[in-house]
Amino acid sequence: MINVLYFARLREQLDTESEQLDIAAGSTLADVLTMLRSRGGVWADTFAEDQLIMMAVNQEMTEIDAAVSEGDEVAFFPPVTGG
Amino acid sequence: MNYIAVQKEPFDIAAEQNALRADNPGIGAVVTFAGLMRDMNEGDQVSSMTLEHYPGMTEKALAEIVEEADQRWDLLGIRVIHRVGELNPMDPIVLVAVASAHRGEAFRACEFVIDYLKTRAPFWKKEKTPEGERWVDARHSDDEAEQRWQR
């Protein structure tokens, strides 16, 4: 299981703050995204290939090819706008 | 001494500068950037704003930025405060204050920290306009500002 968090616009569009997901050994963020897209509807739209999505594993910003392992905290969010 | 805070409460810019330079007679320069909430954005009136963040990661991201600034320049203290929650026009949103012996290091480090914060710290602004609420879009100019520091 991994814990997946959604923030800001994504959290609102998906109407989900967080969830637990089962992943196969050797998964990457790309696999998680494929799983989420396969739900269709707003999930497919939010994570469509042309959407600019930032991602983090265990609270470190990373790229789509990053490995994900059991117990990880994964987060998806729009480009940041602080400051 | 470095200090990082993510907080709902307002902060006092002068008090933060004083705290940064307290008890260190070696400090010859303090450069402060204060980011304030404007009442206009993209041509629309903005009446208030909500700042969301990713608790845990935000503090970590800020700590990494501060540490990198410390490695790049010879500094005597960095203070970063970022507010979250409800904000109104004229409210201070963010403070970056940097102390050093001479001004050059503090000027450069201060700009570096705010440029990196803008693109790397997980905060999101949602603003209230007469047409309703909307998420603020990231600016391309912020990415360019960050890239100036890449090496």
Give B-chain residues touching A80 at CB under 8 angstroms.
118-124, 138
Which of B41, B50, B52 has the highest number of chain A CBs within 10 A, making it the mutation to test binding with A? B52
| A55: confidence class by pLDDT, cuts 50, 70, 90 | very high
CA distances from A69 to A60, B21, B54, B72 (A): 14, 44, 21, 34
Q: Are A66 and A55 in contact (CB under 8 A)?
A: yes
Rounded Cα gap, residues B125 and B87, in angstroms: 10
Mean pLDDT of chain A: 97
pLDDT tens series, chain B, 151 aa: 899 999 999 999 999 999 999 999 999 999 999 999 999 999 999 999 999 999 999 999 999 999 999 999 999 999 999 999 999 999 999 999 999 999 999 999 999 999 999 999 999 999 999 999 999 999 889 999 999 998 6
Asked whether the beta carbons of residue B124 and residue A60 sit closer than 8 angstroms, the reply is no
Rounded Cα gap, residues B50 and B135, in angstroms: 9
Q: How far does the CA of residue A60 sit from the closest CA of chain B (Å)?
A: 7
Measured between CA atoms, the residue of chain A closest to residue B94 is A83
- CB of B11 within 8 Å of a chain A CB? The answer is no
Give A-chain residues touching B49 at CB under 8 angstroms.
none
- pTM for the model stands at 0.95
Kindly state the tokens that stand for B139: 């600016």
pLDDT for the residue B51: 98
Measured between CA atoms, the residue of chain A closest to residue B141 is A81
pLDDT for the residue B111: 98
Does residue A45 register a pLDDT over 80?
A: yes
- In the predicted model, what is the mean pLDDT of residues A25-47? 97
Give A-chain residues touching B117 at CB under 8 angstroms.
82-83
Does residue A26 register a pLDDT over 90?
A: yes
Does residue A6 register a pLDDT over 80?
A: yes
| E strand spans, chain B | 3-7, 29-36, 40-41, 44-45, 48-53, 77-83, 85-87, 92-100, 123-129, 132-135
Give B-chain residues touching A5 at CB under 8 angstroms.
54
pLDDT for the residue B121: 98
